[in-house]
Structure 1
Amino acid sequence: MKFSKFGQKFTQPTGISQLMDDLGDALKSNQPVNMLGGGNPAKIDAVNELFLQTYRELGNDNDTGEANSTSIISMANYSNPQGDAAFIEALVSFFNRHYDWNLSAENIALTNGSQNAFFYLFNLFGGAFNVDDNQSVDKSILLPLTPEYIGYSDVHVEGQHFAAVLPHIDEVTHDGEDGFFKYRVDFEALENLPALKEGRIGAICCSRPTNPTGNVLTDEEMARLAEIAKRYEIPLIIDNAYGMPFPNIIYSDAHLNWDHNTILCFSLSKIGLPGMRTGIIVADSEVIEAVSAMNAVVNLAPTRFGAAIATPLVEDDRIKQLSDDVIKPFYQQQAKTAVKLLKEALGDYPLVIHKPEGAIFLWLWFKDLPISTSELYETLKEKGTLIVPSEYFFPGVDISDYKHAHECIRMSIAADEDTLTKGITVIGEVVRGIYDEAK
């Protein structure tokens, strides 16, 4: 059977498809697998209990105990293409209450997950643009700091449209200990990027905290990126899947800002509802109109189930309390535990860890690793431990001569302590063996 160019693009092997396939195979396996590779959030009892309570309340009126017909009717009908109106109104009130952004319902649209949102946004602002009737220009999405999220790489309908800037790498301490580093934006390289100067950038995008590294761009870095975006009359897209205000997995001092040149993307996945596939876009009304039109074509309308669960939690701020008091502290402790286990497992071997500042991963750098981390991935997979190799996280960069891009792995810290311990033990044994054999 022959597919179109569109079909061929989306059926060829990709990093994200390999990751999801391997995760699915691991879940079906009869053998135990140390799941340190995916982006699934942790199973936190307090989180699950609140969602279960809210779910039960959808079916019953709290005052009478009878069926809650409003909730049932809501989920039994399509929303409009912009998304569930009650949830959007709750979000408008929430953001205005906490950030004083002066939003209206025209500034928010829902999508079927944030991956769906980035498919829309990257195709809206990356690709062929008509300059006039006889000329077009190809514009890219500028990633000001790589490595970046694996799921961005292949969302363009045709080709890949990315320009990216490699980071400054600074050695830092963490909790008074050495053995850590931090990525920072190389603004000199960014501002001298030919594509930016020549008008071939359609938008700037960054995740905060960054998936895969847990890096949190500073407020100063974010302000400078916002200024550059305004100067070149392009939007700044910020992926807040792990950020403020929910799930708020950020440990550094950071603030969230929005204006009409900024597009903020949120998700219900990392608060513990990944199966609900509910993404949130906050943007200028022109962007929201475009996203709503794309929703109508691609999905008819976004799913309403996640919105129904989340609406009461947003209305009374329980979603923020849950994020601040339960989810963030949980992952902060997970990071401390994982760092301790890694240092014990690798000892004096050349491991450097990106400073844990947020998200649900650790980014591990094995300096001068004798093999690529793609090869390391295959070895670890054979031994029942899943991680993600670094080569997939550099869209827009030719990494053939960039050694660092072949020496890192992303490791999830969302697993329970037993799985973390077993998985890190395997990583330590395999990596030590690789270094020892190369001596």
Structure 2
Amino acid sequence: MKFSKFGQKFTQPTGISQLMDDLGDALKSDQPVNMLGGGNPAKIDAVNELFLETYKALGVDNDADVPNSSAIISMANYSNPQGDAGFIDALVGFFNRHYDWNLTADNIALTNGSQNAFFYLFNLFGGAFTDEQNESVDKSILLPLTPEYIGYSDVHVEGQHFTAVLPHIDEVTHDGEAGFFKYRVDFDELENLPALKEGRIGAICCSRPTNPTGNVLTDNEMAHLSEIAARYDIPLIIDNAYGMPFPNIIYSDVNLNWDNNTILCFSLSKIGLPGMRTGIIVADAKVIEAVSAMNAVVNLAPTRFGAAIATPLVENDRIKQLSDNEIKPFYQQQAKTAVTLLKKELGDYPLVIHKPEGAIFLWLWFKDLPITTLELYETLKEKGTLIVPSEYFFPGVDVSDYQHAHECIRMSIAADEDTLAKGIAVIGEVVRKLYDEAK
């Protein structure tokens, strides 16, 4: 059986497919696995209790009126391709209430998860274009700060379309302690990119906080990116999967802004509903119209059940209260616990940690590691501990001669404390042995 070029592209091995396969295999394993590799959110009691309470309020326990329950209505009917109208109206009210953006329903579309959203957006703004002289121009998506999200890498229908900028790396302190670093945007390099100057960039995209590193771009960095995007008449796409206002896993003091040249992407996954596959795009009406048309072709309509759960939580602001009072503090404490454990295991070894500023991961840099972290990944997997190696997080970069891209790992902090401790103990044991043997 032969596949088209499209089929061959999407059936070849990728970082994201390997990660998801390994996570699935671990869940089926009869041996205990320290799950420090995936992006699944933690199970937080207060969060799950609120979702269950909301679910029951939809009428799932109301046998007398099952046909008219909100749960049945949301499951038994399509929305239009833009998404559930009630949820969109609730989001319009929420964002205008908290940010005064003057949105209308024409500024919001729903997708089946944010991965679905980025498939749309990257293919809308990256790929083959026709210029004013009717000649073909290939445009790419500019990633101003790598490493970046593993799931971006393979969503383009036509080849790979990324231009990426490597970071400045600064040594910093965290909570008064040394042993940390932070990535910053190299604007000198970015502004001198030939692709940008020659009109071969279709959009700029960044995640905030960044998956995999937990880096949070400063307000000044965001303002500079916004100015560059406006100057070149291209959109700035911001991935808020872990950011403001929900789940708000951001520990630094920053602001969230929107204008007609900005595309904001949100998700219900990291508030604890990854199985609902509900993504949210806030953008200019022309972009929303395009996304809705793509929804109609690819999905007919976005799923409605996540919208049914989230609508009342958005209307009464409980989604923000949940994020501020339960979700953010939980991960902030998890990060502190993980840092303490890592320093205990590897405090005398060449480990530096990206400053934990948000998201649900720590990004660990093993300077001059004797093997690549892809090899480290395989060794740890054999010992029942899953992490993700750094090579996969540099879309648009040839990492063959960039040593730093082979010395880092992403480690989830969403696991329970026992799993976190056991997994970090395994990482410590293996890494200590590697450095000791190299001496």
- Calculate the TM-score normalised by the size of structure 1: 0.98
1:41 alignment partner in structure 2: 41
Q: Distance in 1 between matches of 2:134 and 2:238?
A: 34
Deviation at 1:133, TM superposition (A): 6.9
Residues 1:15 and 2:32 are matched in the alignment: no
Residues 1:126 and 2:140 are matched in the alignment: no
Check the 8 A contact 1:60/1:68 in 2, yes or no.
no
SS state at 2:142 partner: strand
Check the 8 A contact 1:278/1:303 in 2, yes or no.
yes
Check the 8 A contact 2:87/2:310 in 1, yes or no.
yes
1:436 alignment partner in structure 2: 436
Per-residue displacement from partner, 1:130-164 (whole Å, max 9, x unpaired)? 11574110000000000000000000001010000
Q: Distance in 2 between matches of 1:131 and 1:218?
A: 34
1:330 alignment partner in structure 2: 330
Check the 8 A contact 1:34/1:386 in 2, yes or no.
yes
Matches within 5 A, 1:101-250: 101-132=101-132, 134-250=134-250
Q: Distance in 1 between matches of 2:341 and 2:21?
A: 28
Deviation at 1:69, TM superposition (A): 1.6
Alignment-mate amino acid for residue 69 of structure 1: N
Check the 8 A contact 1:126/1:203 in 2, yes or no.
yes
Q: Distance in 1 between matches of 2:121 and 2:208?
A: 17
Check the 8 A contact 2:204/2:229 in 1, yes or no.
yes
Q: Distance in 1 between matches of 2:19 and 2:318?
A: 33
Deviation at 1:75, TM superposition (A): 2.5
Deviation at 1:340, TM superposition (A): 0.1
Q: Distance in 2 between matches of 1:60 and 1:372?
A: 51
Residues 1:356 and 2:352 are matched in the alignment: no
Structure 2: give runs of 5+ residues left out of the alignment.
none
Deviation at 1:397, TM superposition (A): 0.5
Q: Distance in 2 between matches of 1:118 and 1:385?
A: 30
1:298 alignment partner in structure 2: 298
Question: Aligned residue pairs: how many?
Answer: 438
Check the 8 A contact 2:128/2:136 in 1, yes or no.
yes
Q: Distance in 1 between matches of 2:333 and 2:59?
A: 36
Per-residue displacement from partner, 1:334-377 (whole Å, max 9, x unpaired)? 00000000000112100000000000000000000010000000
Check the 8 A contact 2:109/2:288 in 1, yes or no.
yes
Deviation at 1:100, TM superposition (A): 0.2
Deviation at 1:73, TM superposition (A): 2.1
1:342 alignment partner in structure 2: 342
Residues 1:402 and 2:402 are matched in the alignment: yes
Deviation at 1:253, TM superposition (A): 0.7
Deviation at 1:74, TM superposition (A): 3.2
Structure 1: give runs of 5+ residues left out of the alignment.
none
Check the 8 A contact 2:46/2:326 in 1, yes or no.
yes
2:252 alignment partner in structure 1: 252
Check the 8 A contact 2:215/2:355 in 1, yes or no.
yes
Per-residue displacement from partner, 1:86-118 (whole Å, max 9, x unpaired)? 000000000000000000000000000000000
Deviation >4 Å, runs of 4+: 64-68
Among all aligned residue pairs of Structure 1 and Structure 2, give the percentage whose two residues are the same amino acid: 89
Residues 1:86 and 2:86 are matched in the alignment: yes
Q: Distance in 2 between matches of 1:40 and 1:25?
A: 15
Q: Distance in 2 between matches of 1:32 and 1:134?
A: 59
- Calculate the TM-score normalised by the size of structure 2: 0.98
More displaced, 134-143 or 98-107?
A: 134-143
SS state at 2:400 partner: coil
